[in-house]
């Protein structure tokens, strides 16, 4: 056995895109036509992945892929259905997928999950091709089953082609808005700098040969160095999912991207607490010819070499987490491997605070993406974990002090049935989505709304500041009540409020408003700039008050404090001016008044 047996492994391909844009259909098409085109063994169904060998790709792609041009063994498509976030899966700090297909419905263009996928591809520097899917829905389209796209495209009527072009240029524009220079793939000279857009149909198969050709070309040209592995080296992989499997307990669905993993190997697996060190009991693969994606039928294999998907059965895997690294301990000390796994996990660790929301996500990678998004939105995190929403999460969220933080943000996770009950009872709000930025937006809107309604209730109950002046020759009644014409200088005068006057900085409550009239009509309030007549119970004009006097709405100290400290952003500028004028007067006597 040689440790130096190097070989090129299969590139790992992820298929990303918005829901319903055709990811599953495209994968099915690739698998289906591989199966119907080729002999037995045309594709290999792995756990969570499908391997398509070079010969089959070449057969499907016809003249577009000549096997003699390539020395990569084929392509491994990750195909976990509904697992939107596998694109965030990592391998040694980078993306697990070497290369990606971004599926976009030509009629629909960019949608939230398209944006999110682009973000991830950009951040991880993953090369990708855009599958502009569903070209067959273009009005007047004349399909050519399983054909490369160029002859099919050229053979369409001018009307059909220009309808499609319109959509394609829109898409190319949307890519360039995201700083990707893109073009029809047959016009792209340098795939390192430009994104190739392949018009295609997962339904008719048009353009699918081209997608395969671009993927092979991209991997062969730009990724080849990274595909070189030591085929006998210790296996390294990433957990796709932790699943209970009858007869085996908790098992790991893993994509192995380097080396080889054998039955009996000691492995180290990233977990929610300390890394797990355990021994591989069994390596399971779907039985050949088993129905695609029905994974009940397994066969046991002795070893699995990169790149491959495999189910690992081993003791003590319950705390393992999706997205975590798996490393084989071979020819090196176990502690070193544990340290490596710890270091890799630490890289993804999410900073938490004493007060904040609870975050749950389906994988480590998506948890990290969530944490980034929340940090950007300045939303603090109390706890962040991988896994479905459990009663414990509801309890933890309930301990948050601020009402707005009594919330759980779940990305791509389910609510366990007993947690659902707890949620109903506890005052904890659940936000759940499979698009990160929508999740953050929903939560933000909720907080805004909550603050708005809180402030509205407070503002409704609070006495508002105002300054006003009695006009000359505007005494309509001397007393019981005094009725005078005033001009509101600043603030809001509401009926029933108390009226104060400052003489030598000495505040003096002179009475209470018992009526406001604007141009002869009774009103409940008057605003700055208005001239109204006020009925004031208490004073007599000529004694406690005089024409020309400056009067104020008398504010209870507590109200003044709330206005100054909590609501100063909410009240209009002139009211704020009345408030500070009033506080100035008050604080001349007592500097700490209202503080
Ligand atoms: P996913 O959510 O991205 O996996 O999308 P699916 O593959 O489930 O496709 C969503 C719907 O679009 C299904 O009804 C498909 O049959 C349909 N669909 C997918 N690709 C095409 C295509 O190329 N042409 C047409 N006409 N329909 C398609």
Beta bridge partners of 262: 303
Residue 289 has a pLDDT of: 60
Ligand 1, pocket-test mutation among 18, 19, 20, 201, most atoms within 8 A of CB: 20
Most confident of 17-21, 92-96, 407-411, 435-439: 407-411
- According to the 3-state scheme, what is the secondary structure of 402-428? CHHHCEEEEECCCECHHHHHHHHHCCC
**CA 52, CA 307: separation in Å to the nearest integer?**
12
Residue 89 has a pLDDT of: 77
The stretch 399-424 carries a mean pLDDT of 93
Non-local (6+) Cβ contacts of 223 within 8 A are 11, 98, 99, 127
Strands (E), 259-375: 260-262, 266-269, 276-279, 282-286, 298-301, 303-305, 308-313, 325-329, 357-361
Residue 1 has a pLDDT of: 43
State the sign of the Cα–Cα–Cα–Cα dihedral 276, 280, 282, 283: positive
Residue 88 has a pLDDT of: 65
Residue 567 has a pLDDT of: 87
Confidence grade of residue 86 (pLDDT, cut at 50, 70, 90): low
Distance (Å) of CA 510 to CA 263, 468, 507, 577: 92, 14, 9, 22
The answer to whether residues 312 and 238 touch, using CB atoms and an 8 Å cutoff, is: no
The encoded tokens of residue 485 equal 């014409």
CB neighbourhood size of 32 (10 A): 14
User: Which 3 state secondary structure label does DSSP give 191?
Assistant: coil
Q: 312: burial class by Cβ within 10 Å (0-12, 13-18, 19+)? A: buried
**Residue 504 φ/ψ region, left for φ over 0, alpha for ψ in the -120 to 50 degree band, beta for the rest:** left
State the sign of the Cα–Cα–Cα–Cα dihedral 514, 519, 524, 529: negative
Residue 543 has a pLDDT of: 93
Q: Which of 86-95, 352-361, 521-530 has the lowest mean pLDDT?
A: 86-95
Torsion of CA 160, 166, 171, 173, to 10 degrees: 160
Which of 105, 84, 79 has the alpha carbon at shortest distance from 435?
Answer: 84
* Cα 200 to middle of ligand 1, angstroms: 12
* Cα 26 to middle of ligand 1, angstroms: 8
**CA 365, CA 518: separation in Å to the nearest integer?**
64
Nearest-Å Rg of the Cα atoms of the chain is 35
Confidence grade of residue 2 (pLDDT, cut at 50, 70, 90): very low
Residue 76 has a pLDDT of: 95
Residue 203 CB–ligand 1 contact under 6 Å: yes
Q: What percent of the chain has pLDDT over 90?
A: 68
User: Which 3 state secondary structure label does DSSP give 505?
Assistant: coil
Residue 20 CB–ligand 1 contact under 6 Å: yes
From the annotation, which residues make up the binding site for GTP? Answer: 17-24, 79-83, 133-136
Residue 85 CB–ligand 1 contact under 6 Å: no
**Protein residue with its CA nearest to atom 20 in ligand 1:** 22
Task: Please say if the pLDDT value at position 36 is more than 60.
Answer: no
**CA 306, CA 309: separation in Å to the nearest integer?**
8
**CA 330, CA 479: separation in Å to the nearest integer?**
100
Ligand 1, pocket-test mutation among 19, 22, 83, most atoms within 8 A of CB: 22
Alpha helices (H) along 78-196: 112-124, 149-154, 158-177
DSSP 437-473: HHHHHHHHHHHHHHHHHHHHHHHHHSPPPEEEEEEEE
Which of 239, 255, 236 has the alpha carbon at shortest distance from 362?
Answer: 239
Confidence grade of residue 91 (pLDDT, cut at 50, 70, 90): confident
Chain centre to alpha carbon of residue 346: 21
**In ligand 1, which atom is closest to the CA atom of 21?**
3
Angle between helices 364-376 and 436-461 (to 10 degrees): 40
**CA 135, CA 164: separation in Å to the nearest integer?**
7
**In ligand 1, which atom is closest to the CA atom of 103?**
3
**CA 179, CA 372: separation in Å to the nearest integer?**
21
Confidence grade of residue 383 (pLDDT, cut at 50, 70, 90): very high
Summarize pLDDT for 512-539 with one digit per residue, the tens.
Answer: 999 999 999 999 999 999 999 999 999 9
**CA 49, CA 304: separation in Å to the nearest integer?**
13
User: Which 3 state secondary structure label does DSSP give 174?
Assistant: helix
Task: Please say if the pLDDT value at position 308 is more than 70.
Answer: yes
The stretch 480-491 carries a mean pLDDT of 96
Is the ipTM reported for this complex over the cut 0.95? Answer: yes
Q: What is the DSSP letter of 538?
A: S
In this structure, the chain runs to a length of 595
Return mean pLDDT, the chain: 90
């Amino acid at each position: 056995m040689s440790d130096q047996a190097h070989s090129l492994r299969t590139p790992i391909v992820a298929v990303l895109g918005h829901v319903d844009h055709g990811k599953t259909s495209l994968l099915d098409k690739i698998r289906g036509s591989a199966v119907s085109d080729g002999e037995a063994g045309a594709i290999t169904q792995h756990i969570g992945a499908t391997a398509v060998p070079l010969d089959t790709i070449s057969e499907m792609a016809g003249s577009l892929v000549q096997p003699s041009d390539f020395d990569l063994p084929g392509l491994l498509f990750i195909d976990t259905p509904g697992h939107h976030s596998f694109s965030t899966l990592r391998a040694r700090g980078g993306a697990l997928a070497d290369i990606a297909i971004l599926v976009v419905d030509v009629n629909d263009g960019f949608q939230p999950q398209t944006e999110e996928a682009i973000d991830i591809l950009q951040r991880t520097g993953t090369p990708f091709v855009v599958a502009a899917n569903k070209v067959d829905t273009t009005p007047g389209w004349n399909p050519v089953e399983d054909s490369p796209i160029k002859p099919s495209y050229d053979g369409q009527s001018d009307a059909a082609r220009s309808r499609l072009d319109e959509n394609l240029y829109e898409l190319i524009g949307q890519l360039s808005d995201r700083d990707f220079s893109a073009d029809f793939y047959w016009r792209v000279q340098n795939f390192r700098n430009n994104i190739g857009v392949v018009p295609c149909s997962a339904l008719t198969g048009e353009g699918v040969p081209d997608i395969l050709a671009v993927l092979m070309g991209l991997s062969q040209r730009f990724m080849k160095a990274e595909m070189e592995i030591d085929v006998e080296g210790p296996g390294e992989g990433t957990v796709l999912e932790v699943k209970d499997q009858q007869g085996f307990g908790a098992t790991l669905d893993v994509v192995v991207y380097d080396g080889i993993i054998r039955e009996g190997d000691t492995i180290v697996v990233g977990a929610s607490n300390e890394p797990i060190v355990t021994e591989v009991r069994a390596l399971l693969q779907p039985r050949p010819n088993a129905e695609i994606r029905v994974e009940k039928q397994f066969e046991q294999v002795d070893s699995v070499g990169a790149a491959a998907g495999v189910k690992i059965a081993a003791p003590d895997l319950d705390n393992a987490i999706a997205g975590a690294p798996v490393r084989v301990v071979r020819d090196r000390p176990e502690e070193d491997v544990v340290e490596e796994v710890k270091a890799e996990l630490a890289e993804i660790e999410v900073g938490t605070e004493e007060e904040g929301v609870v975050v749950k996500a389906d994988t480590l990678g998506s948890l990290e993406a969530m944490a980034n998004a929340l940090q950007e939105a300045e939303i603090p995190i109390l706890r962040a974990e991988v896994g479905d929403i459990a009663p414990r999460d509801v309890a933890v969220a309930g301990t948050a002090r601020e009402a707005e933080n009594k919330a759980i943000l779940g990305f791509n996770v389910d609510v366990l049935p007993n947690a659902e009950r707890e949620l109903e009872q506890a005052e904890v709000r659940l936000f759940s989505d499979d698009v990160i930025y929508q999740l953050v937006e929903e939560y933000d809107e909720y907080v805004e709304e909550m603050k708005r309604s809180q402030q509205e209730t407070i503002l409704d109950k609070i006495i508002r500041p105002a300054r006003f002046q009695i006009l000359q020759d505007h005494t309509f009644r001397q007393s019981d009540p005094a009725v005078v014409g005033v001009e509101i200088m600043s603030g809001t005068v509401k009926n029933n409020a108390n009226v104060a006057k400052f003489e030598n900085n000495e505040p003096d409550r002179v009475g209470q408003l018992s009526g406001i009239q604007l141009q002869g009509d009774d009103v409940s309030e008057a605003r700055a700039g208005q001239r109204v007549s006020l009925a004031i119970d208490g004073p007599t004009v000529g004694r406690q008050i005089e024409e020309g006097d400056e009067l104020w709405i008398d504010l209870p100290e507590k109200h003044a404090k709330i206005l100054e400290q909590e609501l100063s952003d909410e009240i209009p500028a002139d009211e704020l001016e009345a408030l500070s004028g009033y506080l100035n007067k008050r604080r001349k006597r007592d500097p700490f008044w209202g503080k």
